[in-house]
């Protein structure tokens, strides 16, 4: 009788145990699942490292935030990153390893045009959706339908947008400038930016009196500045990478360049360490930027992100304010994460189609991509450095010394014109 009772109860006991196991599995954290691997190369050493390291920290914060909410598709997310050493020749090998050896589920680009272009053939061969971080017109030579550009330059002609504001500000002055000098590094980004500057100058009816490039390894910019000064241009547009930009600013101040507007597409001046190092030498420069804390750019979530970033920045040895690149790096992965959740898939064709069709809610506001993978709406700012005194960091936390001149929607002040007046 007892044996019969035990046998009768066994199915009910088994069912109860199975039910408990299912319930326990349902509440297991995302960490118990196989992680979704996102691979990338990033400039962590070399001349692009100041921006690259800041971008990586922003991406790591996105991973933390995402995993705290349960990950993607119920799985945790992990980054697999390699240092590209700011060297384009390392990039194809990095992405080949990520895709063929590490077997990552998703890839995103590292930082900068020069690092993104060499990744494209590998990404295309593997049919991966690919978001490039601050790359200027990278897809203009590839026309890859699954490439997306996470940068403020936008529209069907992104080469023009990086200096469009510079020329619009200049041509609004009275009397209007008549001549321009264009100087650029002989590298991918600078070539693209100078192509755009040339077209903007011609559209404005300006006479180009100097138009030359210099080798990327150049360290002495005094001869270049002297050659530019000899042409007596009203405007000087410089398309340069970080070390070049610093060298150019120092040379311009040492020689005493006389022109009405100077700047344009100088990468590196947006970095806090560069601002504090150059201090008053920046005064008068009109240059592009991608985010500053003007009220109109305080989109939902961006200040919360910057608070987290700034709390980690000193220990990580990165840009202490993080205004320029980190919000874009965080938004880069926000777009990817929204696409994964929106498609409920890691299928690359589905992700690509979703990114073309959707509007994304990010810490930089609503973002949508155009047919060429560039953002549909430009977010490029042109600012002028004004009234900088000394080398303290506090003066760069707001916009009193970095005044937004263009576009009108984000304007926070007026240009000091000519350039020499802002140096007084």
Give the count of alpha carbons within 13 A of 82, CB side only.
18
Name residue 83's beta-bridge partners.
42
Whether residue 18 lies inside any domain: the answer is no
Is the C-alpha dihedral spanning 190, 193, 199, 204 positive or negative?
negative
Tokens of 162: 């990086």
Cα–Cα distance measured from residue 325 to residue 150, given in angstroms and rounded to the nearest whole number: 10
Domain count, the chain: 2
- The verdict on 77 and 221 lying in the same domain is no
- Residue 177 is part of a domain; what is its CATH number? 3.40.50.2300
- The verdict on 147 and 162 lying in the same domain is no
- The verdict on 137 and 172 lying in the same domain is no
- The verdict on 37 and 137 lying in the same domain is yes
- The verdict on 244 and 261 lying in the same domain is yes
Whether residue 205 lies inside any domain: the answer is yes
Burial class (CB in 10 A: 0-12, 13-18, 19+), 253: middle
- The verdict on 274 and 401 lying in the same domain is yes
Cα–Cα distance measured from residue 63 to residue 336, given in angstroms and rounded to the nearest whole number: 12
- The verdict on 194 and 272 lying in the same domain is yes
Cα–Cα distance measured from residue 119 to residue 28, given in angstroms and rounded to the nearest whole number: 37
Whether residue 227 lies inside any domain: the answer is yes
- The verdict on 147 and 166 lying in the same domain is no
Whether residue 416 lies inside any domain: the answer is yes
Query: Shortest CA distance to 197 belongs to which of 145, 161, 247?
Result: 161
pLDDT tens across the length of the chain (424 residues): 334 434 344 444 434 444 444 444 444 444 469 999 999 999 999 999 999 999 999 999 999 999 999 999 999 999 999 999 999 999 999 999 999 999 999 999 999 999 999 999 999 999 999 999 999 999 999 999 999 999 999 888 999 999 999 999 999 999 999 999 999 999 999 999 999 999 999 999 999 999 999 999 999 999 999 999 999 999 999 999 999 999 999 999 999 999 999 999 999 999 999 999 999 999 999 999 999 999 999 999 999 999 999 999 999 999 999 999 999 999 999 999 999 999 999 999 999 999 999 999 999 999 999 989 999 999 999 999 999 999 999 999 999 999 999 999 999 999 999 999 998 7
Whether residue 20 lies inside any domain: the answer is no
- The verdict on 244 and 356 lying in the same domain is no
What is the pTM (predicted TM-score) of this model? 0.89
Whether residue 9 lies inside any domain: the answer is no
Whether residue 21 lies inside any domain: the answer is no
- The verdict on 53 and 201 lying in the same domain is no
Q: Quickly count: other Cβ atoms within 10 Å of residue 389's Cβ.
A: 10
Q: Which domain holds residue 145?
A: 31-152+298-368
């Amino acid at each position: 009788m007892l044996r019969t009772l035990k046998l009768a109860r066994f199915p009910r006991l088994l069912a109860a145990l199975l039910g408990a196991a299912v319930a326990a599995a349902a509440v297991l954290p995302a960490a118990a699942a196989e992680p979704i691997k996102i691979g990338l190369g990033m400039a962590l050493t070399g001349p692009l490292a100041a921006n690259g390291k800041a971008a990586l920290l922003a991406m790591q914060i996105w991973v933390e935030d995402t995993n705290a909410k349960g990950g993607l598709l119920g799985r945790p997310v992990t980054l697999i990153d390699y240092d590209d050493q700011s060297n384009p020749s390392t990039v194809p090998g990095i992405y080949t390893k990520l895709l063929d050896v590490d077997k990552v589920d998703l890839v995103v680009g590292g930082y900068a045009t020069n690092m993104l272009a060499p990744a494209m053939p590998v990404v295309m061969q593997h049919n991966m959706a690919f978001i490039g971080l601050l790359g200027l017109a990278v897809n203009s030579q590839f026309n890859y339908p699954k490439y997306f550009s996470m940068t403020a330059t936008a529209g069907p002609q992104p080469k023009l947008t990086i200096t469009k504001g510079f020329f619009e500000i200049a041509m609004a002055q009275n009397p209007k400038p008549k001549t321009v000098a264009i100087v650029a590094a002989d590298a991918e980004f600078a070539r693209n930016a100078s192509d755009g500057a040339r077209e903007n100058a011609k559209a404005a009816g300006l006479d180009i009196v100097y138009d030359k490039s210099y080798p990327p390894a150049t360290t002495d910019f005094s001869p270049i500045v002297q050659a530019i000064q000899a042409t007596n241009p009203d405007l000087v547009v410089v398309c340069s990478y970080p070390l070049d930009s610093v060298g150019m600013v120092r040379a311009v101040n040492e020689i005493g360049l006389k022109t009405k507007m100077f700047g344009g597409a100088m990468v590196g001046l947006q970095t806090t360490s560069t601002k504090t190092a150059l201090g008053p030498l920046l005064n008068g420069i009109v240059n592009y930027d991608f985010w500053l804390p003007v009220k109109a750019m305080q989109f939902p979530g961006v200040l919360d992100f910057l608070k987290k970033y700034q709390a980690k920045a000193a220990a990580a040895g990165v840009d202490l304010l993080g205004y320029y690149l980190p919000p874009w790096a965080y938004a880069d992965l926000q777009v990817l994460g929204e696409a994964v959740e929106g498609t409920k898939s890691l299928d690359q064709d589905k992700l690509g189609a979703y990114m073309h069709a959707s509007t994304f809610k990010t810490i930089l506001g609503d973002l949508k991509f155009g047919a060429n993978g560039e953002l549909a709406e430009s977010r490029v700012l042109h600012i002028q450095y004004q009234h900088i005194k000394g080398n303290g960091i506090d003066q760069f936390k707001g916009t009193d010394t970095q005044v937004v001149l263009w576009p009108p929607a984000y304007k926070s002040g007026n240009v000091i014109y000519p350039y020499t007046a802002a140096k007084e």
